[in-house]
């Protein structure tokens, strides 16, 4: 009893007052505990977010860049298997077969390749290996029945370094002395050159292809030329390319205008450093890519000193149609200001946000979200070889119900999340722009994503990693000009050197009305020998293997007996 022998009041009112005081203290402590728990929850949310950022940073630096989602066997239970299989796609260009009839995709291996056959177009030199007399047995030397001949036993590739040669131009001149004391002189006309320089079209084409197709910095190309006996300074190379960019500007502007006539235009941008400022430093400039559709197959680039709306307003002037891009506010404002431009969302960008969460903290809901994306991309894969009308019908029949179901699921998930969670941000990225994401369902010509534009932009990113920065804004304009030419060549598997050499040769005498004949897609039809056929075949085979793997995954699993 001593433990409870405290000075407690005996008066009832005083006891009530003590009870109320204790209740107030309890409430105060409960409020403090609740506040501390909220602080702990916020701190834990911050820790999780920072940990997720660290994981993504490590993945960017050291891990794989591929965003493939490999579903497990249990995830098939999340969806209706009849929708996942979707074998009755009469509008598709594929004829899906059962798992028993469809051959498994063959993977390339390093074994069993066999002897390499060299192309017939390569020049050949014959080397004859004759027998020494001491190698011939005595009985064969004097035998008249013994026959001598040479047998082809092998072929061997050899390399002769590229050569630089000088062309000496001589102009025929006729001179006649007149009786009046005057002299008449007539000389042959020299073909016009694109720019005033002591090099020819072949050298300019080599310089351009090395810089903007092979992504060599000027100093490295200077050293390469020096090994061939002729050092051309990097400043001279730069001045020549500046002049060439101005000379080919009419052809490049034609390509850009034609790309703007596309029904669906892809657009994206990437930063590039530029030397500028006092004291000397770097500023951030931008290269933008606009990728035309199949009817206007040109991958065009544009340079701007910043990321403001002024640049896209200028190079998108006159465009009307579907503009597919990421959710950068610049594109959204341009579309909002012009009702002729219809914004289209990129499902790959949206998927990437869920994939990043799945990488950091995989869960049932991340599997579910990525499963929805996978089902939609499977439909696109089945419709890849279909016509525009067939693809549109297939999307309306198979993809639209999945998109509707996905939207409802996203709205339900959104309400359950904390305001600052990455999961809620990923959902809001889509639901806030849901109309732009569903537009591809209404038109078979609209791609499901903007990956083709990102792939075009990565062509320039390869160069940026090699030469690091632009020297000035003129260098940025020059890069945009030549990336337009070389990337469009890359799109059509055209040898950029052969194409540029012909363009540099013919352009001075080509009237404006004949410029379309120099467009890469039309030029290669007239010069099929300069098509990089092995690259085209390799790309097609790679796509076929990928499609075979996807078809095998889509095939319903065999029912165990």
CB count in 10 Å sphere of residue 24: 10
Higher pLDDT, 155 or 291: 291
Closest CA to 397 of 77, 97, 95, 92: 92
Exposed/middle/buried for 252, CB within 10 Å: 0-12, 13-18, 19+? buried
Q: Compute φ and ψ for 114, nearest 5 degrees.
A: 80, 175
Residue 299 reports pLDDT greater than 90: yes
Higher pLDDT, 557 or 306: 306
The neighbouring-strand residues paired with 531 are: 494
| Most confident residue range from 13-27, 207-221, 526-540 | 207-221
Phi-psi region of 125 (alpha: psi -120 to 50; beta: other; left: phi over 0): beta
**C-alpha triplet 117, 120, 125: angle, nearest 5°:** 95
How far is Cα 531 from Cα 539, in angstroms, rounded to an integer? 14
Residue 103 reports pLDDT greater than 50: no
How far is Cα 306 from Cα 285, in angstroms, rounded to an integer? 5
Phi-psi region of 215 (alpha: psi -120 to 50; beta: other; left: phi over 0): left
**317 prior amide bond cis, ω within 30:** no
SS (H, E, C) 319-337: CCEEEECCCCHHHHHHHHH
Q: Are strands 183-187 and 341-344 parallel, antiparallel or unpaired?
A: unpaired
Give the single-character DSSP code of 301: E
Q: Where in 384-473 does DSSP place strands (E)?
A: 469-470
**Is the Cβ–Cβ distance between 300 and 359 less than 8 Å?**
no
To 10 degrees, what angle do helices 234-247 and 473-491 make?
A: 70
Residue 277 reports pLDDT greater than 90: no
Closest CA to 214 of 538, 490, 453: 490
- What spatial distance separates the first Cα and last Cα of the chain, rounded to whole Å? 77
**299: enclosing H helix or E strand:** strand 299-304
To 10 degrees, what angle do helices 364-382 and 347-360 make?
A: 150
Residue 118 reports pLDDT greater than 90: no
Summarize the confidence of residues 489-493 as an average pLDDT. 95
Q: Are strands 321-324 and 299-304 parallel, antiparallel or unpaired?
A: unpaired
Flag the least confident range among 248-262, 342-356, 534-548: 534-548
Flag the least confident range among 216-230, 296-310, 487-501, 512-526: 216-230
Closest CA to 312 of 323, 296, 298: 323
Residue 364 reports pLDDT greater than 80: yes
Higher pLDDT, 420 or 389: 389
Look up residue 281 and give its two tokens: 């430093």
Q: For the whole model, what pTM was predicted?
A: 0.79
Q: Produce one character per residue of 374-403: b if its CB has 16 or more CB atoms within 10 Å, e if not.
A: bbbbbbbbbbeebeeebbbbbbeebbeebb
Q: At 41, is the pLDDT very low, low, confident or very high (cuts 50, 70, 90)?
A: confident
Look up residue 321 and give its two tokens: 């149609």
Q: So what's the pLDDT on residue 1?
A: 47
Q: So what's the pLDDT on residue 499?
A: 97
Q: So what's the pLDDT on residue 4?
A: 53
């Amino acid at each position: 009893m001593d433990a409870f022998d405290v000075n407690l009041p005996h008066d009832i009112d005083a006891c009530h007052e003590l009870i109320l005081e204790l209740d107030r203290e309890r409430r105060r402590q409960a409020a403090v505990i609740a506040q501390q728990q909220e602080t702990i929850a916020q701190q834990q949310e911050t820790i999780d977010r920072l940990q997720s950022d660290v994981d993504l940073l490590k993945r960017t630096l050291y891990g794989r860049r591929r965003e493939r989602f490999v579903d497990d066997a249990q995830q098939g239970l999340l969806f209706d298997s009849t929708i996942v299989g979707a074998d009755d796609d009469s509008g598709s260009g594929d004829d899906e077969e059962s798992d028993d009839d469809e051959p498994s995709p063959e993977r390339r291996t390093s074994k069993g390749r066999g002897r390499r056959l060299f192309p017939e177009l390569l020049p050949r030199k014959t080397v004859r290996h004759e027998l020494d007399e001491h190698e011939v047995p005595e009985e064969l030397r004097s035998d008249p029945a013994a026959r001598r001949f040479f047998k082809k036993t092998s072929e061997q590739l050899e390399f002769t370094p590229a050569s630089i040669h000088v062309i000496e131009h001589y102009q025929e001149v006729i001179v006649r002395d007149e009786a009046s004391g005057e002299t008449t002189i007539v000389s042959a006309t020299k073909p016009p050159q694109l720019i005033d320089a002591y090099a020819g079209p072949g050298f300019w084409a080599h310089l351009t292809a090395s810089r903007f197709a092979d992504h060599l910095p000027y100093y490295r190309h200077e050293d390469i030329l020096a090994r061939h006996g002729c050092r051309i300074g990097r400043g001279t190379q730069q001045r020549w390319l500046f002049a060439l960019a101005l000379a080919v500007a009419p052809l490049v502007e034609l390509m850009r205008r034609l790309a703007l006539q596309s029904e669906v235009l892809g657009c994206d941008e990437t930063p590039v450093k530029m030397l500028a400022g006092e004291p000397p430093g770097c500023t951030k400039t931008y290269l933008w890519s606009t990728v035309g559709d199949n009817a206007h197959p040109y991958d065009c680039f544009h340079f701007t000193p910043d990321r403001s709306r002024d640049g896209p307003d200028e190079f998108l002037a006159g465009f009307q149609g579907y503009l597919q891009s990421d959710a950068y506010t610049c594109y959204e404002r341009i579309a909002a200001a012009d009702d002729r431009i219809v914004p289209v969302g990129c499902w790959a960008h949206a998927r990437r946000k869920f994939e990043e969460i799945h990488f950091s903290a995989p869960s049932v809901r991340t599997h579910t979200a990525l499963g929805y994306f996978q089902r939609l991309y499977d439909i696109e894969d089945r419709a890849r070889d279909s016509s525009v009308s067939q693809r549109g019908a297939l999307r309306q029949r198979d993809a639209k119900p999945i998109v509707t179901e996905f939207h409802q699921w996203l709205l339900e998930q959104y309400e359950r999340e904390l305001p600052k969670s990455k999961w809620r941000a990923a959902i809001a990225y889509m639901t806030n722009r849901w109309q732009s994401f569903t537009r591809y369902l209404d038109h078979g010509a609209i791609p499901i994503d903007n990956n083709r534009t990102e792939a075009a932009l990565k062509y320039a990113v390869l160069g940026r990693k090699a030469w690091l920065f632009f020297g000035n804004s003129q260098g940025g304009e020059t890069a945009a000009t030549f990336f337009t030419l070389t990337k469009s060549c890359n799109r059509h598997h055209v040898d950029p050197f052969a194409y540029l050499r012909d363009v540099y040769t013919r352009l001075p005498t080509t009237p404006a009305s004949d410029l379309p004949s120099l467009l890469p897609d039309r030029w290669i039809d007239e010069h099929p020998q300069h098509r990089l056929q092995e690259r085209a075949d390799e790309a097609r085979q790679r796509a076929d293997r990928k499609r075979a793997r996807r078809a095998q995954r889509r095939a319903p699993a065999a029912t165990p007996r």
